[in-house]
Amino acid sequence: MPTTRIILDTDPGVDDALTVLLALASPEIQLEALTTICGNIGIEKTTRNALAVLELANASHIPVARGCESPLVSLLGKSGEAVHGTSGLGQANLTEPKAQPVKQHAIDYLIERILAEPGQITLFTIGPMTNLALAIRKDPRIVPAIKELIIMGGAIRQGGNVTPLAEFNIHADAHAAHIVFHSGIPITLVPLDATYKCLLTYADIEHLNRINSRIARFVRDSTSDYMDFYRKYEGFDGCALHDPLTLAVILAPELFTFEEHHVDVDISGGVGNGNTFADFMKVSKKPANMRVALDVRGRDFVELFLQRMETLCRSMEEPTQ
Amino acid sequence: MKRRIILDTDPGIDDSLAILLALASPEISLEGLSVVHGNSSTAQGTVNALSVLELAKAEHIPVYAGCELPLVQPSLLAPETHGEHGIGYAKLPEPLTRPQSQNGCDFLIDKIMSNPGEMTLVAIGPLTNIALALRQEPRIAKNVKEVFIMGGAIRHEGNTTPLAEFNTYVDPHAAHMVFHSGMPITLTPLDVTYDCIFLKEDLNRLLKTASPITSFIADATRFYMEFHDEYQHIEGCVINDPMTMALTFMPEICDYQELYVDVDLSGGVSMGSTFADFYRMTQKPANMKVALGVRPRVFMELFMERMEKLAKSLT
């Protein structure tokens, strides 16, 4: 299988950080750059965390471009500190990164990288889509030049995780999602319908930590608050691997049940604001604008994730004292 | 000290007149144009901007193409108001000058950030370029000297829907972003521009000075006057954009109130409508200065004199 070259637009964030690690641990994927966005936490911290996670995995050669510090129209949402901790990475204490973001703004960085090699870059957005939406409006030529866009976002039949109807990434910048959904870019959407089936458990994390590696410890420390949150609010032991699951669209597409649908997002500002909905009955008569992952073999993905993390941990295993 | 101006524009008949007024006014220095979709497509508007500058022998002023589409709303251009090419019945030669390669949004950012506190931004089209620039470089809000916006209808009815004015209706999301940006804004809504009608007599007076400038104004506005007559039963035409330009150096044309102004994004019948919180119901501090009263003949005389002077100087 040829390597898939990806750029990850991200708001690290615990599950974002795990996505970066999974990408680095996967030979099928070549992670070419990260662009950052405000979301789980503010832009200063998401950018710092992106650099710090790359350094943790000895991958600081991968460039990071800093993006927008606020959504298009919505007010900056409730901080995700309750879920992701004050640093954005739970209890993990990563050293201050030595590397700096590139000078270019993420909007221009995306435009330049995509136009430099049309049809070569698969883009992942695992945070609010402000950067991509503005890149589309600033230079519409990127639309046909993006090979594929894979989005973590939305809740189709599933309830929302930030309002009863809306998922966090879409709700944080519903207007940006609207721009992206209607852009004509070939999209695969990975909504909560699929991600909530992928639960990383305490036992999984203990198992991984039999290996003495800073990666294993990072997985444990970053997810501990995240798990407490899930136990307290969602009533289960474990945490959902929302963002990492997007990579499975490349790594193990056979795990998913995909359907082609016309999906839109409510930007009316009412109770459904940020709600994503699919036109299952074709009542709008509009052609499908994306492929939606409505189901996934969740445990199979978690096993794949753990396997890859183990390999990464072993490659950086430290001698036991 | 001349006021240093960047013009964000969608030429556009009245945009073209605003460009000419800027060039005819010694109080200001027009340092660059960024073009946005609106009255015409961005491509057509860019050609028009270059052609109008060449007509007035001001082709040294750089023109930058900006966004082609509104942020969220579908594209809405106005050929029925401004003609197929955006300048009414006027026909200007293909411009010899080219637009700059830099994107209009980047020009706004660079120009404002490299001249902190110096640049006045005059925005007379939909606000897409400025909104995008604000999200890419939020510090422009603090570094721009002032922003003069033609847009909105506060107590006045709309000219695009019963409630909404064209520029705010075309990209209400961009207007929302700019209104809430903290930039020091002066708004010129339809409330004042509809009091200033450019009449046939005014045109006849201008035509006494024979010049490519006056011929252009005649050909451009004849189309505009037919539109205003057919749709709004106004004899003459409303020239919104030049008034906004004039306020940068002759603020006494209007009376202002400091108000909290917002724009409706709900997607209902009042989508794109601008409204002011006159009674402080929201308890929010004023976010702009709004021109709500005008001395129409003061403005019209200024405009006429400046156009005559420009026409003579170029003949």
Q: For B5, left (φ over 0), alpha (ψ -120 to 50), or beta?
A: beta
pLDDT tops 80 at residue B125: yes
Q: Is A207 a catalytic residue?
A: no
Per residue in B222-262, pLDDT tens?
999 998 888 888 889 999 999 999 999 999 999 999 999 99
Where does residue B103 rank: exposed (0-12), middle (13-18), buried (19+ CB within 10 A)? buried
Tokens of B109: 């950012």
Where does residue B9 rank: exposed (0-12), middle (13-18), buried (19+ CB within 10 A)? buried
Tokens of B64: 């930058």
User: Residues A178, A242, A261, A262: which is the catalytic one?
Assistant: A242
H or E, element range at B49: helix B42-55
Please give the C-alpha separations between residue A204 and each of A23, A194, A210, A303, B80, in angstroms, as whole numbers: 19, 20, 10, 9, 66
Name the A residues in 244-283 with CB < 8 Å from any B CB: 267-270
**What is the residue type of B241?**
D
Tokens of A248: 């499975």
The pTM of the full predicted model, rounded to 2 decimals, is 0.92
Tokens of B228: 């205003």
Where does residue A61 rank: exposed (0-12), middle (13-18), buried (19+ CB within 10 A)? exposed
Q: Is the dihedral of CA B247, B249, B251, B257 positive or negative?
A: positive
At A46 the pLDDT is: 97
Residue of B nearest to A139 (CA): B67
At B232 the pLDDT is: 84
Q: Is A76 on the interface with B (CB under 8 A)?
A: no
| Closest CA of chain A from B69, distance in Å | 7
**Locate tokens 């809740």: which residue?**
A155
Contacts of B144 (CB under 8 A, 6+ apart): B112, B119, B120, B121, B183, B184
Name the A residues in 140-159 with CB < 8 Å from any B CB: 140
- Is there a contact between B19 and B33 (Cβ–Cβ < 8 Å)? yes
What's the CA gap between B124 and B148, in Å, rounded? Answer: 8
Mean pLDDT of B184-198: 96
- Is there a contact between B164 and B270 (Cβ–Cβ < 8 Å)? yes
**What is the residue type of B104?**
G
Stretches where chain A sits below pLDDT 70 are 1, 77-79, 321
Subunit contact B71:A179, Cβ cutoff 8 A: yes
Segments in chain A forming alpha helices (H) = 14-24, 43-56, 81-84, 106-116, 130-138, 142-145, 168-172, 174-181, 192-195, 202-208, 214-229, 242-251, 298-315
Contacts of A234 (CB under 8 A, 6+ apart): none
At A193 the pLDDT is: 97
Subunit contact A140:B128, Cβ cutoff 8 A: no
Residue count (chain B)? 315
Size of interface A-B (CB pairs under 8 A): 52
- Which residues of B fall within a CB distance of 8 Å from A267? 72, 265, 267
- Which residues of A fall within a CB distance of 8 Å from B67? 137-138
At A78 the pLDDT is: 67
Strands A29-36 and A64-65, sheet pairing: parallel
| Closest CA of chain B from A276, distance in Å | 16
H or E, element range at B221: helix B212-232
Nearest Cβ partner of A137 from B71, B137, B138?
B71
What's the CA gap between A187 and A290, in Å, rounded? Answer: 5
Nearest Cβ partner of A73 from B128, B132, B177?
B177
Please give the C-alpha separations between residue B276 and each of A172, A281, B273, B304, in angstroms, as whole numbers: 27, 42, 10, 32
- Which residues of B fall within a CB distance of 8 Å from A68? 135-136
Strands B288-294 and B254-259, sheet pairing: antiparallel
φ, ψ for residue A50 (rounded to 5)? Answer: -60, -45
**Locate tokens 């866009």: which residue?**
A149
pLDDT tops 90 at residue B118: yes
Residue of B nearest to A133 (CA): B71
